[in-house]
Structure 1
Amino acid sequence: MIIRICLFLWIGVLCSLNVAAQFSDSVHYYAKYSSTGSINQTNDGRSYLLNNVAAFKISKKKIVLNADAGYVYGAQNSEQTNNDVTASLNFNLYAGNRRFFYWGLATYDRSYSLKINNRFQGGAGVAYDVIRTPTAVLNISDGPLFEHSDLILEDTIPDKYQTVRNSLRVYYKWTIKSIIVLEGSQFWQQSFTKQNDYILKSVNSVSVKLRSWLAITAALNYNRLNRTGRENLLVNYGITMEKYF
């Protein structure tokens, strides 16, 4: 089932790219890498956290293809606290109105802190830009997701299951004086079959540009997986490099 969903999503992306080529020959690329972290050392112990995120985007007139990957590693007093991997592929397909579009998504993640051995999500939906200006974007998207998960519950109980969720996302980006950038995504993914089975995710950052391609970044990420009763809060700072070409 998972392989079929991934295959269908890839076919949809490729077909959409071929359709988009009929409307515009211009292609734009965007690459981004962010490395943030924190270190705390005292007489009583030491803790550290490293958060790496990479993103790549291909834009045409009628379609945008995004690929993202992230890795978080943390330890406290030589005991591992985080070893989390995420990867996603998604595309936006635009109709006549640029503010309204369809989206498709496939993600994979593994998280030591949230007790996720493996988790796959794939789905599609619609999105609308409530605000779209050169300096501000506010977008709301919604749609169903199929999920296949391999989790660890309390007392190391294995839990392999499948469900369909509703995925609601609110995304914002605000640029001030071309120097300060506030950006974030808020997710609420509720299972259609179980009320107490939901996922909350909040990713927020503030960046101060030193150059057009280099910025100092502070980030706050929150995740809660209610099925395992686990959550994490990551607050760190570092640098972000990005390039349009």
Structure 2
Amino acid sequence: MKYVCALVLTLVYYTTAFGQYSDSVHYYAKLASTGTLNTTQDGRSYLLNNSFKVGVSKKNLSLNGSGGWIYGEQDGGVTNNDLSTALDFSLLRNVRQIYYWGLATYDKSVSLKINDRFQGGAGIAYNVIDRKKAYLSLSDGILFENSDLFLQDTIRDVYHTFRNSFRLMYKFVINDLVVIDGTHFLQNSLSLGSDFNIRSTSNLSFLLRKWLSITATLTYNKLNRTNRENLLFSYGLTFEKYF
């Protein structure tokens, strides 16, 4: 919990600093609430997938905070109670296709058997495409990870490692009606080849207004160290605003 508080306080501090010392600050906010419900004579299941992202930017520097909570039950048993938070910044160079990034994240997950996990690090990214309606970025860097996992229900695995973190991120807007975007990570441990993480989120949105859309989300996570993975499909509303 202390990592969550630290991420939130850092975001508030930098947002305030940007607002006090600049007249050309741009803000961004996004809120998505999706879910599924299935009820039959044999049982009942449901899944809620809520996420948010806020950002502030000025000239060559941007700061973003994001978080998500996934909760699911099946026949009265909890299948998902997954919390994730992240704080990242980007620093553009004179060559706008290349920028530096820093990242700090905190996770808890019932489905992946993560009791606590913190990651922090930095790297470099390259914008392959950077236009108003088309964006594609590749990045790579090094993260330090400190984790407390459950290998089995009663066996704890507390360890730390350095990981190479590769990311693919994209967003495409089609005819101002359809938006396809996604973020995908592959994180390999530098000390153990069989220890890797995969995180993948893909969204398909149909715009009702500039700030409102119907969104279908496909999320996949794999934690090879615990031999756990999940695949989630949900749909609902997304609110997005630039100001």
Question: What's the TM-score, normalizing by structure 1?
Answer: 0.91
Aligned to 1:184: 182
Matched, 1:229 2:227: yes
Cα distance in structure 1, aligned partners of 2:180 and 2:58 = 25
Deviations 1:203-229 (A, max 9, x none): 000000001110000000000000000
Matched, 1:41 2:39: yes
Q: Secondary structure at the match of 1:48?
A: strand
Deviations 1:112-136 (A, max 9, x none): 0000000000000000100111111
Q: Which of 188, 204, 220 is the aligned partner of 2:202?
A: 204
Q: Secondary structure at the match of 1:44?
A: coil
Cα distance in structure 1, aligned partners of 2:196 and 2:211 = 37
Aligned to 1:141: 139
Aligned to 2:161: 163
Q: Which of 104, 107, 112 is the aligned partner of 1:106?
A: 104
Number of equivalenced pairs: 233
Code of the residue aligned with 1:219 in structure 2: it is T
Q: Secondary structure at the match of 1:223?
A: strand
Aligned to 2:59: 61
Cα distance in structure 2, aligned partners of 1:149 and 1:155 = 16
Cα distance in structure 1, aligned partners of 2:142 and 2:86 = 16
Aligned to 1:72: 70
Code of the residue aligned with 2:68 in structure 1: it is G
Q: Cα distance, 1:156 vs. partner?
A: 2.7
Deviations 1:123-177 (A, max 9, x none): 0000010011111111001000000000000353100000000000000111001
Aligned to 1:129: 127
Cα distance in structure 1, aligned partners of 2:153 and 2:67 = 30
Aligned to 2:114: 116
Deviations 1:24-56 (A, max 9, x none): 741100100000000000000000000000110
- % identity of equivalent residues: 54
Q: Which of 195, 211, 223 is the aligned partner of 1:213?
A: 211
Code of the residue aligned with 1:152 in structure 2: it is F
Aligned to 1:194: 192
Code of the residue aligned with 1:178 in structure 2: it is D
Q: Which of 111, 132, 152 is the aligned partner of 2:150?
A: 152
Unmatched tracts of structure 2, length 5 or more: none
Cα distance in structure 1, aligned partners of 2:127 and 2:23 = 25
Cα distance in structure 2, aligned partners of 1:92 and 1:140 = 13
Aligned to 1:175: 173
Q: Secondary structure at the match of 1:134?
A: coil
Aligned to 1:85: 83
Cα distance in structure 2, aligned partners of 1:171 and 1:155 = 35
Give the ranges of 4+ consecutive aligned residues of structure 1 lying more than 2 Å apart after TM superposition: none
Q: Cα distance, 1:98 vs. partner?
A: 1.6
Code of the residue aligned with 2:203 in structure 1: it is S
Cα distance in structure 2, aligned partners of 1:242 and 1:218 = 15
Cα distance in structure 1, aligned partners of 2:27 and 2:152 = 44
Unmatched tracts of structure 1, length 5 or more: none
